[in-house]
Structure 1
Amino acid sequence: MLGKLILIGLLAVVYYIGLGISGVSNFILVSIIEALLTLIPYFGNIIGLSLAMAFGYLTSGELGVLIGVLITFTVSQFLESYVLQPYVVGDKVDLHPFTVIVVVVLGGALWGVIGM
């Protein structure tokens, strides 16, 4: 549980930086909400992306903000899956990060999304 809380804090920082650069107004609040929504498996990221895109477009009206939000989400999901989660969660359960990555990849290959 502590590993997941640390992961949420790190994701909030990544979202904070990305959404701030993208030009989303109130990006501090949006980044905290997005990070907390990652607790909901599978649908939390979709809901967070939808909220951030809607909020960004409605407050600015610019297409560039939407592209920035998409880039932020793409980078943050990559960082979460391949960097943050193996190191943070693997450290809390005393597993080597390479072991965590291999198990996630094999689980996905064998059982699809459910195995990940």
Structure 2
Amino acid sequence: MSADRRWPRQVYGAGTEPDPRFTLANERTFLAWIRTALALVASGVAVDAVDLGLAEQVRLPLAVVLVGLGVVCALGGWVRWARVERALRRSAPLPSSPLGALLALGVLVAAVLVLVSLR
């Protein structure tokens, strides 16, 4: 397939074709972020739908934090995939991503909400 017909053009229109192994590894990493996003969204829905013995005033904020983290993971995974793919195509250094730190901070907030609710 020619580079000018693939989407997103901002990714595939840059540089030259990298080794397919690197592109496929980048796609697997993206899919891992998507799996994480799905797990977070499902956790948020479960917190709201299932009686887990959490305090009522904590249940909704916890569900919102988990679903919000899922959305951030999905969008951040897409942005990370595009940035890495562009870097691979340009033979440039791989870009850093704040996604891991943001996810860790969000999970910490969710854990604190759970611990506060169980008292």
Q: TM-score, normalised by structure 1?
A: 0.37
Greater RCO (Cα-Cα under 8 Å, separation 6 or more): 2
